Amino acid sequence: MKYEILVSNFLRSGVVDDIILKCLYNAQTFPYEVVVSLLRTFNLLCGPIRTKPRVTYIIPYFSLDCLDLKTNEDKLLQLRIDIDFIGFSPPSYAYNLVTCVYLKSFTDPGLFIKSARNGAMVHHGLIVSRVVHSTVDRRITVQVDTPVDELDSSWRELMSTTDSIIHHLRSTWVAAGPICKFYCAHCLYLDKSEPEVEVDPEWYSPLRNTDKDNPFSEQLRTLPSNADPVTCCNDQTNSGQLQVPRPLRFPCKCKL
């Protein structure tokens, strides 16, 4: 009965118990540890995650669940980047490999990790990080829902995740031609149907030296009214376009 529960959980969530993985591997002439290492290297499997009573692994492709991009009811700020393909779209399984690339940085057993057939979600503290993909729309969305006082670290997390995905795509699916669309967090907060977006801005390059060319402020804990304001065309005041703090639109060169 316990075995059936483990199998059911694997098919539902893509999380496989170590004992199930060993049962699937029946060969006696090749070391099991080497097989796992190869699967991890090719991003077919993520883990091990140290859970009790045994370690577990994540194989998103086998999950039957799906995720959406809805932000929770606390109205956290939503930071979002869409990765679209202007070349040849990667095959469907390649999107799941991207999910494993994303999950590689989240192996802390204390985190809540939700794996799904179309991506994954990670809760750490009040921050919720997601990667959701659609083979129909030829798109991978990277999103972080964050409190205002965690905006700086959340921007960094979003960019780090995007960097990892872009590096993977450019090294394995060059013909896909990925581009990045950066959404205005102010527009997303107001639930605008057509939020402002910037495509591959000059300040963003996955190949940048992050130690020497950092587009973020060293510390961004609050958003005072004089926080390097920029205009947002999706809201109007009596005198014209509303000015909002730059970190709500784009994180580039935030100065407080």
| pLDDT tens digits for range 1-52 | 577 777 777 777 777 788 777 776 665 667 777 777 777 777 777 777 777 6
pLDDT at 212 over 80: no
* Per-residue pLDDT, 253: 46
Rounded to whole angstroms, how far apart are CA atoms 195 and 233? 9
Pairing assessment for the beta strands 178-183 and 77-85 based on DSSP bridges: antiparallel
The domain 77-210 is placed in CATH, from the list 1.20.1250.20, 3.40.50.150, 2.60.120.1030, 3.30.310.50, at 3.30.310.50
Q: pLDDT confidence of 256, banded at 50, 70, 90?
A: very low
* Per-residue pLDDT, 81: 94
Taking Cα atoms as reference points, which of 159, 130, 156, 160 lies closest to residue 145? Answer: 130
* Per-residue pLDDT, 113: 82
Rounded to whole angstroms, how far apart are CA atoms 223 and 248? 9
Token pair, residue 87, equals 């070349």
Rounded to whole angstroms, how far apart are CA atoms 137 and 118? 12
* Per-residue pLDDT, 217: 47
pLDDT at 252 over 60: no
pLDDT digits (tens, 9 = 90+) for 130-146: 999 998 899 999 999 99
Extents of the domains making up the chain: 2-62, 77-210
pLDDT at 190 over 90: no
pLDDT cut 90: percent of the chain above it: 11
Higher confidence at residue 242 or residue 15?
15
pLDDT digits (tens, 9 = 90+) for 60-85: 777 878 888 776 666 788 999 999 99
Rounded to the nearest 5°, which phi and psi values hold at 143? Answer: -140, 140
Cβ neighbors of 238 (< 8 A, separation 6 or more) are: none
Q: What residues form DSSP beta bridges with 57?
A: 16
Higher confidence at residue 208 or residue 178?
178
Mean pLDDT (the chain) is 77
Higher confidence at residue 179 or residue 252?
179
Where do the DSSP E strands lie in the chain?
15-17, 46-49, 56-58, 77-85, 112-116, 119-124, 127-134, 139-146, 178-183, 197-199, 229-237, 240-245
Rounded to whole angstroms, how far apart are CA atoms 78 and 128? 10
Count CB neighbours of 228 within 10 A. 15
Taking Cα atoms as reference points, which of 106, 3, 25, 13 lies closest to residue 62? Answer: 13
pLDDT at 129 over 90: yes
